[in-house]
Amino acid sequence: MIKKRIFSVILAVLLVVCCVTEAFFIKFLENDNANLKEEVKALQSDTSDLKDQVENLNDTLTKKADEPSIEFYLPDHIYVCESQGTDIYNSSVVYGINLDSYAFHWEAPVGNSRSDRFEIPAGSIPGDYEVTLHIYDLSLNELASKTSTLHVVSDAVQSEEGQISLSDIHPVIYSQNAEEVPDSILANRVDDAGTVMPNVVFMFPSAYEVYSDLEGTMEQIRTQIPAIQEQYGDIPILIIEPSYPGSNVEEEASFDEDGNQIQRWAYAEKTMIYRLVSDLEKTYVDDDNVWIVPNALMTRSENSPKETEDAIRGVLSHLISEQRIKINEQ
């Protein structure tokens, strides 16, 4: 009898323990299930966020793919003589696009942003100015920008009737086409038989040579410069960019329905000049003895000696003021 009671008590205790354990386990599962549900909700939210991010990225990439690639050339430093001023033309900064499909704005504390150019008037106060070109689509979304330093320098070159006078400057001139060199630059050139020591070197890459053999022209420049430096030491070397094709040639270019310039011979020639000036800037940007004269930016057509002279005058005045070119030395 006693054994039966003991057994019953044990059985009751076990039953209670099982019930308690079951209740605890059920509660544990309920809590764990609730936690799992919260984690599932969190994962679903994260997945939704990631999906939105992917969709936004796809939209951005699609828009970027639809936008035309804008390439433009604007050197880090531009030198302009205050007595002359100059213009930097939008058509000379960019190429391969229909300019009418874009808006250009030049931001600077000096000069004027015109619809077709950046105007630096004569009489601007000498100094160093930060200039930024902004390019927008017609909805005023900015597509590209580039900042350069504009150096407005005092006129250190004697002038006569608006032309550069080389009476105090003795240049060595390297040119494959004398017609591309302004007459005033040729005036006092120094040849190998002369007794006057040169104080500056002018290099005029020929536009026609660039059109026919761009790589050959660049290789010739890269070969000539070390030879010049070996012969004349640290003499300043000015590379005068050839002008872009004339306006009468550019008018023959045409555009597709998206506003992109299609392949024409005028466009091909402009591309060659663009590649040359871009390569020159990258190659010699850190060379203290080689100066790129951005003639291509400051002229709108071929055979514009006055604009070329103005472009040269700015760099010459800077070098003279820095005593890099010795005046009246022979």
Examine the domain organization and report whether 179 and 293 are in the same domain: yes
Examine the domain organization and report whether 58 and 82 are in the same domain: no
Specify the CATH number for the domain of residue 140: 3.40.50
Helices 265-284 and 214-232, packing angle to 10 deg: 30
Examine the domain organization and report whether 132 and 212 are in the same domain: yes
Examine the domain organization and report whether 146 and 234 are in the same domain: yes
Examine the domain organization and report whether 13 and 32 are in the same domain: yes
Examine the domain organization and report whether 99 and 140 are in the same domain: yes
Examine the domain organization and report whether 292 and 232 are in the same domain: yes
Examine the domain organization and report whether 100 and 4 are in the same domain: no
The answer to the question of residue 329 being in a domain is no
User: Strands 200-204, 171-175: parallel, antiparallel or unpaired by DSSP?
Assistant: parallel
Count how many domains the chain has. 2
Q: Which mean pLDDT values do the consecutive 10-residue runs of the chain (330 residues) have?
A: 62 61 58 66 68 67 58 90 89 82 94 93 94 93 93 78 61 81 77 72 89 90 93 92 64 55 64 89 90 88 72 90 73
Structural domain containing residue 268: 71-321
The answer to the question of residue 330 being in a domain is no
Q: Is the pTM of this model over 0.75?
A: no
Examine the domain organization and report whether 15 and 112 are in the same domain: no
Domain boundary residue, one of 42, 66, 90: 66
pLDDT of residue 164: 47
Examine the domain organization and report whether 144 and 104 are in the same domain: yes
Examine the domain organization and report whether 80 and 19 are in the same domain: no
pLDDT of residue 218: 93
108: left (phi over 0), alpha (psi -120 to 50) or beta: beta
pLDDT of residue 4: 59
Examine the domain organization and report whether 54 and 110 are in the same domain: no
pLDDT of residue 44: 67
pLDDT of residue 177: 74
Do 208 and 180 touch, CB atoms closer than 8 A? no
The answer to the question of residue 327 being in a domain is no
Length of the chain: 330
Domain boundary residue, one of 66, 87, 107: 66
pLDDT of residue 227: 93
The answer to the question of residue 328 being in a domain is no
Domain boundary residue, one of 47, 66, 85: 66
As a whole number of angstroms, the distance between CA 102 and CA 43 comes to: 45
